[in-house]
Amino acid sequence: MEKAIIVSNVTKKYKLYKGTKDRLLDLITPKSYGEDFFALAGVNFEAEKGDIIGFIGINGSGKSTLSNIIAGIVPETSGKVTVNGQSSLIAVSAGLKNELSGRENIELKLLMLGFNKKQIKELEPEIIEFAELEKFIDQPVKSYSSGMKSRLGFAISVNVDPDILIIDEALSVGDKAFAEKSLNKMKEFKQKGKTMIFVSHSLGQMKEFCEKILWLEFGMVKDFGTVEEVIPKYEDFLNQWKKMDNKERNEYREKGFERQKEILFQKS
């Protein structure tokens, strides 16, 4: 099988500064100021072509960071990401211009994605139809409701026909009917054999749709396998996690970060 995504040993470091003084000193002096925070530490995983992978994990485990890195929006600090094909990220904040109308936003977005005039003309009606905006399509986007905005963003990203689709919590907005329509579109993609990545907290959707699950914890891969293997383990963990009080959670977190340090130490 051809590999669609290869993520090897990817680390993403953010710097936490106490104030502007630290930030400035870090920028102009060779010495390092501020505290390092690793959103991802030594993440490895591979996706075959046509895989549908769900990213799960509690808040702050690095799901969104990893999907942003795969989409090429955020650069990795170290490691290597290989993506075969064009990837498209769908997130709730789809990056629309508020002053422009829906139609102009479609054109602008397609232009930036590198489509020419003719292709844009062809794609436009499909997108408008899918977004169900009807007469609002020529109104400025700032007058849209949040559901309309995400529908438009979703419609654009889906209709440009990417090879790899990354969906970050985007299906949790919009009404049931639209969610169903999107899911059907996803299934269409699935049949076409496209690679998809799902980031969601809804385990129900994951079970229904994904084939493989990548479980992230503190920026590290905790488990990677089929839905049947990983989801029950994750559910068990969630039950435990819910029962823990704040002190226990902090202890657990500290243990996690210690493991992270070990991984990073081994690497260097």
Partner 1 sequence: MKSAIQVLKEQFNHFYLVRRLSLYEIKSKNKNNYLGMLWEVLNPSIQILIYWFVFGALLGRAPVEIDGKEISFIYWLMAGFILWTFFFQSIIHGSKSIYTRLRMLSKMNFPMSIIPSYVIFSQFYVHLVMLGISIIVFQFAGYYINVYFVQLFYYIFAAVCLTFAISLITSTLSTMIRDVHLLLASVLRMMLYVSGVLWPLSILKEYPPIILTIIKLNPLYYLMEGYRISFFGSEWYLITHWQYTLYFWVVILVLFLIGATLHVKFRRHFIDYL
Site residues (CB under 8 A) for partner 1?
14, 27, 71-75, 89, 93, 95-97, 99-100, 104, 107-108, 111-114, 116, 140
Calpha distance 266→258 (Å, rounded): 12
User: Between residues 107 and 169, which has the closer beta carbon with respect to partner 1?
Assistant: 107
Least separation in angstroms between residue 57's CB and partner 1 is 22
Contact between 156 and 88 (Cβ < 8 Å): no
The phi and psi torsions of 201 (rounded to 5 degrees) equal -95, -5
CA distance 233 to 197: 20
By beta-carbon proximity to partner 1, the closer residue of 68 and 205 is: 68
Task: Name the residue nearer to partner 1 (CB basis): 84 or 202.
Answer: 84
Least distance CB 246 / partner 1 (angstroms): 31
Strands 220-226 and 78-83: unpaired
To partner 1, the closest distance from the beta carbon of 184 in angstroms equals 25
Name 201's Cβ contacts closer than 8 Å, sequence gap at least 6.
Answer: 56, 169, 172
CA angle 227, 221, 67 (to 5 degrees): 80
CB of 25 to partner 1, least distance (A): 13
What's the min distance (Å) between Cβ of 127 and partner 1?
16
Toward partner 1, which CB reaches closer, 95 or 232? 95
Taking the least distance from each CB to partner 1, the nearer of 21 and 187 is 21
